[in-house]
Amino acid sequence: MTPDNAFLHLPELQGRLTPAHASGLRLTDEVLAEWDAQARCQGLPAHWRLPDSEVERSRREVLATIHAQQDPLWVFAYGSLMWNPGFHFDEVRRARLPGFARRFALSTTIGRGTPDCPGLVLTLQRSGDADPQGCEGLAFRIPAPLVDDESRLLWRREMITGAYCPQLLPLPTPQGEVQALVLVANTAHIHYQGDLTLQATAATIATACGRIGSNRDYLEQLVRQLDVLGVKDGYVEVLHKRVAQEKPTT
């Protein structure tokens, strides 16, 4: 598989993903410095994000079985990674992760919200028998020579506050099972909001807005991408209808 036919299995996604070079979520040193400056302007404490050393330690521990320059890295996308992966990849497939469900259960005070009006972004919760279909999303393949550099940027983005528990899990795809990086909810994290009602979730999404855009737009982008893929997610559909009934931000 080469970059020229990365969309072999999903041609409908061509032109519907933000290229890595245009992604505002590709957290290079320069972009991270901008985020830090924004955090200071919003009055967030100096320790608003994890130290670089902790983020790097997490990356090394999880990817200990990935041999640099030899093994590719598959990444499971169920939220913003589905339309703005922020990393270079050479293959994308459909994927369904059994035993988990996507939920807007992670509070954010900088990306899609502010300290005064926090937003909510997606995380993965264990669903068990409650959702036997699991979570359907995408699997991106980062080629072996790029794994080290691209995973560093991905970890900075997703583990910026330590709100996920990254792990390598077996991930079924139509082309065969792969071992993929999966970002599961850190239910012990201060930003985890797993007990919110659907109505409270909708009210938050309808009003929050942060550095990279509104919370409502985040949901709309998710809905559009799921529609393109023909993915049915009952939770997202009901939430989308409820948010549409909420008064938009002014």
**For residues 167 and 180, what is the distance between their CA atoms, to the nearest angstrom?**
8
Token pair of 162 as six digits: 């330590």
Residues 158, 220, 237, 246: which is the catalytic one? 158
**For residues 58 and 52, what is the distance between their CA atoms, to the nearest angstrom?**
10
Q: Are 140 and 85 in contact (CB under 8 A)?
A: yes
**For residues 143 and 99, what is the distance between their CA atoms, to the nearest angstrom?**
27
| Bridge-based pairing state of the strands 135-142 and 73-77 | antiparallel
Catalytic residue list contains 158: yes
Strand-pair partners of 92: 140
Q: What residues are labeled active site? A: 158
